[in-house]
Amino acid sequence: MNAELTSFLTETKEQVEKRLPQVFENLSIPETLVEAMIYSLNAGGKRIRPALLLGTIQSFGKPMESGLDVACAIEMIHTYSLIHDDLPAMDDDDMRRGKPTNHKVYGEALAILAGDALLTYSFELITQLDREDISTEQKLLLVQEISKAAGPEGMVGGQVADIEGENRSLSLDELVYIHQHKTGDLLTAAIVSGAIIAGASKDDIANLRMFAKELGLMFQIKDDILDVEGDQDLIGKPIGSDDGNNKSTYPNLLGLEGAKKKLNEHMSNAKEYLYKVKMNHGLLLTLTNYVAERDH
C-alpha cells in the first residue's frame, strides 16, 4: 500500500472511530445496550465502506466532513450485520476481528438488540443531518439508497441466499448473486452516497454505481482467496472457515488460480467504469488496487 493511501485510510479511520461513540452520547437508552453497540463498533476492521464514501466526496473536490455522519451510519449497518451473522442461528462464530463475538460477551438477546439498534438508528442519524450543503432531497436519496442496499433486495436477500446455498454446490451465477447482495450492495451504497453528497450528475452516479458493483465483487472474491491462503493472525478468524461451513466460494468453483483470474477481470471492469466519471480518479483507483492486493 502506498504512503498516500495509507495516510488517507488512517485519517478516515481515525475520524470515523472518533465520531462513532459520539453519535450515541445524547440518547436516553440502557447503558448495557450502548456498551454492546460500541463493543462491536470498536472491534476494529478496515473501515473500507466509510473510506469509500469519504474518498468519493473528496474525489469530487468536496469537503469530506460533509459525509462523516453518513459514513458512520453505513459502518453501523455493516457492524449490525456482523453481529447477526455471528449468532448461533447464522454462522455461529466465537471470534470476530480477533475478539470474542458480541453474543459471547453480552448474550444472544442483547446481541440481537444491539444489531437492531445499530440498524435503525443509522437512518435516524441520516435524517438528523444539519448541514447547509446537504438538502432534504439529498437526505431522502441517501435513505433510499442505503435502505435498499441493506434490505431484502440487498444485504438481507444476499444473506438468505447464502444460507440456502450451504451444503450444496452453487452455480457461478448463484454465487455472484450472493456476493453482489450480501457484500457488494453496501459497498455500492457507500460510493453512491458519497456521490449524492458531493452533488454528482446522474451520469456520474450511474457509472460509479457500476464501478462499485465490480469493486464489491472484487472485495468478496478477495475474501474467498484469503480464506484459502491468508494469514489467520491478520484476518482475525481461522483460515478455511468457509470450507468448514460447507460454503461455495470462487476458489471452490473455479480453483484458486481461476478465482484470481476472475478478480483481475472485475478489477479491469471497475477501472473502465471509473474512468468515465468526471472526477479525480487517483484515490479510488488506488483503493481499487488495494482491494485486490490486501492481505486481510
pLDDT digit string (tens) for 119-156?
999 999 999 999 999 999 999 999 999 999 999 999 99
For residue 190 the three cell numbers come to: 457507500
pLDDT digit string (tens) for 98-110?
899 999 999 999 9
Q: What percent of the chain stands above pLDDT 70? A: 94
**Domain map (residue ranges) of the chain:** 3-293
What is the average pLDDT value for the chain, to the nearest integer? 92
| pTM of structure | 0.92
pLDDT computed for residue 232 by the predictor: 55
pLDDT computed for residue 235 by the predictor: 46
How many secondary structure helices (H) and strands (E) does the chain include? 15, 2
User: Smallest Cα–Cα separation from 49: which of 143, 131, 149, 176?
Assistant: 149
Alpha-carbon distances, residue 150 vs 1, 95, 181, 188 (angstroms):
30, 23, 9, 11
d(CA 21, CA 16): 9
pLDDT tier at 167, thresholds 50, 70, 90: confident
Please state which CATH class domain 3-293 belongs to. Answer: mainly alpha
pLDDT tier at 294, thresholds 50, 70, 90: confident
User: Smallest Cα–Cα separation from 208: which of 15, 50, 56, 19?
Assistant: 56
Among the ranges given (22-26, 173-177, 236-240, 253-257), the one the predictor scored with the smallest mean pLDDT? 236-240
pLDDT tier at 238, thresholds 50, 70, 90: low
Question: Residue type for 103, please?
Answer: H
Alpha carbon of residue 183 to chain centroid = 6
pLDDT computed for residue 43 by the predictor: 87
